[in-house]
Amino acid sequence: MVVPKQNLVKIDEHYSLEKAALVGCGVTTGVGAVLNTCEGGARKLRSGHRDRGGVGLNAIQGAVLAQAERIIAVDIAEKKLNFAKSFGATDVVNASVYDPVEAVRELTAGLGVDYAFEVIGNPKTIVQAYNMVRAAGTAVIVGMAHHQSDVSIPAQHLVSTERRLIGSFYGSCQPKVDMPKLLGLYTEGKLKLDELITQHYRLDQINEAFADMEAGENARGVILFN
C-alpha cells in the first residue's frame, strides 16, 4: 500500500493495529468534539449526548476527561445505553420510550444542558440537540448529515436564548498531535480502548459486521485482515 506521507501518523510500535484503528476515527472524532471543538469548555458542566455507537461513546469519554459533573446519554437501544453507562454516562434516556428533549430538561430541573453533542447526523436529532441546551448553551453537531439535508431553527429563538449551534469535523483534531496524545491517555489508563472492541470479524464477515452495527450490537467492531 502506498499513501501520501502527509497522511501518516507515527505511533509507538507497541500499540496494536486494533487500537490504532480506533484512534484513527471514532475515538478522535468523539473525544475531540469535547476537548478540541469546545476547547475543554465542558469542564464541570452538564453534557447531553445523542449516542449512536463508537463516536457517541467517545464523546462520553471526552466529557469524563473534561470532568463534566453530569453526562446524559440518549439512544433508542438499551444495549447502547448500557454501553454508555459503562463508559461514564451518569444518566441515560431511551428515546424510543421517552421524549428525549423533555427527559433531558426534566433531568436538569428544566434548564437544559450546557453542551449537547449530536453524533448521528440526522436533521431531527440535530434539532433535538439544539432544544436540549440551556440559554447560552451550545449544541455541537458531530454526525455527518446527507449533503442535501437542511436543519430549521427558529431564528428569533436562536437570538433571544443566545444558544449556539456549531459543527465539529473529525473532532477538530490535528492528527499528528492528537492521535499520539490519545494513545498516551490510553497508556495512562484514562481512556478506554480495549472495552470499545466488543466483536472481531473476518473480512468475509463484513456484511455481518455492518448488520450488527446497524442493530447496535457492538460498541465497536474490528475487521481483521488475516
SS (H, E, C) the chain: CCCCHHHCCCCCCCCCHHHHHHHCCHHHHHHHHHHHHCCCCCCCCEEEEECCCHHHHHHHHHHHHCCCCEEEEEECCHHHHHHHHHCCCCEEEECCCCCHHHHHHHHCCCCCEEEEEECCCCHHHHHHHHHHEEEEEEEEECCCCCCCCCCCCCHHHHHHHCCEEEECCHHHCCHHHHHHHHHHHHHCCCCCCHHHEEEEEEHHHHHHHHHHHHHCCCCEEEEECC
The answer to whether 53 and 81 have CB atoms below 8 angstroms apart is no
Domain covering 22-172, topology: Rossmann fold (3.40.50)
pTM for this predicted structure: 0.91
- At residue 3, the pLDDT reads 85
d(CA 95, CA 63): 21
Q: What ranges do the domains of the chain cover? A: 22-172
- At residue 32, the pLDDT reads 96
The answer to whether 180 and 188 have CB atoms below 8 angstroms apart is no
Give me the residues paired with residue 222 across strands. 200
- At residue 82, the pLDDT reads 93
pLDDT averages per 10-residue partition of the chain, 226 residues? 86 89 93 89 52 80 92 91 93 94 94 93 94 94 92 94 96 94 96 95 95 88 89
Task: Look at the chain and count its residues.
Answer: 226
